[in-house]
Amino acid sequence: MQLEHTDMEDGVRMIRLKGRMDLEGSEAVDLKLTSLVAVKKGSVIVDLAEVEFLSSIGVSVIVRVARALTSREGRLVLLGPRPNVADVLARTQIDQIIPVCGDFAAARTALLGPA
């Protein structure tokens, strides 16, 4: 599983995940992802478009980093999950507690409010 990030001018950090977020994949990105969201009052978009599979272990990692960010007054939104990944977010009802956005503009609005 791969992970890359970009910091945008408005302070939003975009993290792109790529690969299978199963037991192996989640373990591979867990530490890096945790350190990348360790920003005070940060706004983070986690782009899931290239995540081909998400299991409960991956959900656990997402919940943990989102909680850590929220405890520092930051926010995390999820962007562009594929249908099977969106299905997992819906079945676990994670989409009720972490915003899931279909496109980049919606993700930024969810984080920063209307432009």
Partner 1 sequence: MKAVERDVAESPATPGDARVVTSRTFPADRTAPRAAAAWLRSLSLGLSETRLSDAELCVDELVTNLVRYAWADGAAHALTVRIERSPSEVEITVEDDGRPFDPNDAPVAPPARSLAEAIPGGRGLMLVRSIAPRLRYERRDGRNRVTVAFPLEG
User: Is position 32 an interface residue for partner 1 (rule: CB under 8 A)?
Assistant: no
- Give the binding-site size for partner 1 (rule: CB under 8 A): 28
For 30, list phi and psi in degrees, rounded to 5.
Answer: -55, -55
List binders of partner 1 among 54-83 (CB under 8 A). 55-57, 59-61, 63-64, 66-67, 70
38 vs 28: CA distance, rounded Å: 18
The tokens describing 75, both together, are: 């926010």
Beta carbons within 8 Å of 70's beta carbon, 6+ residues apart = 76
| List of residues contacting partner 1 (CB under 8 A) | 20, 22-25, 27, 53, 55-57, 59-61, 63-64, 66-67, 70, 84, 87-88, 91-94, 96-98
